[in-house]
Amino acid sequence: MIVVSPPVICIPARLASTRLPQKLLLRESGTPLLIHTCRRAAQAFGAEAVLVCADTSELVTVAQEYGFAARLTGSHHQSGTDRIAEAAAVLSAPIIVNVQGDEPEIDPAAIRRVAALLDEQPEAAMATLATPGNAADQLNPNSVKVLVDHAGRALMFSRAPLVWDRDAAGPVQHCLRHLGIYAYRRDILLGYAALPSSQLEQSEKLEQLRALEAGHRIACAVVSHAAAGIDSRADYDAFLARLRASPPDQAEP
């Protein structure tokens, strides 16, 4: 796996959260949730490669207090991709990686893998990852499914089952579950932000569909491990329990 030029890892950070208010500032571990994510991301290409793209000065201040670069972006953005596209306008890195701010256990190897996909597939505009799913994922609209061809290109993303077993008269029992991490070529990212929201994107509420409808190729690799994001209080409590149970030698740097 080779990454020709070190990318910038942009972390879109939005303070408002419906299910878990101001979750990125939660610090019952002693460290804000956002900073846990930043530290994991820094293990991929170094702390200097991490940029927090925040919608409030409060998040900018928190990131900077812990030594991470941060940029205040507009409050009008409808997606994380739109938010980091604003920041990308002043960056020179050819590849931008989008890591969600509420993924404090993201695998640094996954970040390196998604960035490397753009070197492996020069014709791809974007790259993302997926992991094997099950029958429960197939029927869960919160679990986004992706179809991938034999060349490692994403064909479609949906909250609904994508493959119907005609003989069994139901959806197939297996699927690929999409992971919300992306790598973009900088010029594609800037162009993406200028595109109008597509019909599929509006229906599914999946930002990557805007790129597919515009004809952009999305590379997709399958990984075995998927870190849990923090969407609810139960998710955060489970994260705290895992963190406290971790051996000292596995603690964050």
Lowest mean pLDDT among 128-132, 166-170, 213-217: 166-170
Identify the pLDDT of residue 174: 82
Residue whose C-alpha is closest to residue 37's, from 58, 17, 66, 16: 66
DSSP annotation of 153: B
Indicate whether 1 pLDDT > 70: no
In a domain, 75, yes or no: yes
pLDDT tens for residues 31-63? Answer: 999 999 999 999 999 999 999 999 999 999 999
Identify the pLDDT of residue 5: 66
pLDDT tens for residues 80-121? Answer: 899 999 999 999 999 999 999 999 999 999 999 999 999 999
In a domain, 2, yes or no: no
Residue whose C-alpha is closest to residue 179's, from 111, 86, 82: 111
Long-range contacts of 83-89 (CB under 8 A, 24+ apart): 83/12, 83/14, 83/53, 83/55, 84/10, 84/12, 84/53, 84/189, 85/189, 85/190, 85/192, 85/193, 86/53, 86/193, 87/10, 87/51, 87/53, 88/8, 88/10, 88/184, 88/186, 88/189, 88/190, 89/190
pLDDT grade for 247, boundaries at 50, 70 and 90:
confident
In a domain, 1, yes or no: no
Q: Do 175 and 162 form a contact (C-beta atoms < 8 A)?
A: yes
pTM: 0.92
Residue whose C-alpha is closest to residue 185's, from 91, 103, 107: 91
What's 26-78 look like in SS3? CCCCCCCHHHHHHHHHHHHHCHHHEEEEECCHHHHHHHHHCCCEEEECCCCCC
Extract the tokens encoding 56: 């409030």
In a domain, 3, yes or no: no
Identify the pLDDT of residue 164: 82
In a domain, 234, yes or no: yes
Identify the pLDDT of residue 68: 98
Identify the pLDDT of residue 171: 78
In a domain, 183, yes or no: yes
SS3 112: helix
pLDDT grade for 7, boundaries at 50, 70 and 90:
very high
Structural domain total, the chain: 1
Distance CA 157, CA 40 (A): 27
Residue 154's DSSP bridge partners are 148
Indicate whether 248 pLDDT > 70: no
- Average pLDDT value for residue range 128-132: 97
Extract the tokens encoding 201: 């994107």
Indicate whether 218 pLDDT > 80: yes
pLDDT tens for residues 177-213? Answer: 999 999 999 999 999 888 988 899 999 999 999 999 9
E-assigned strands of 48-174? 50-54, 69-72, 95-98, 126-133, 145-148, 154-158, 164-165, 170-171
In a domain, 60, yes or no: yes
Q: What is the mean pLDDT of the chain?
A: 92
Indicate whether 222 pLDDT > 90: yes
Distance of CA 171 to the CA centre of its chain: 27
Q: Could you tell me the CATH number of the domain that includes residue 20?
A: 3.90.550.10
Indicate whether 11 pLDDT > 80: yes
Domain containing residue 114: 8-250
In a domain, 25, yes or no: yes
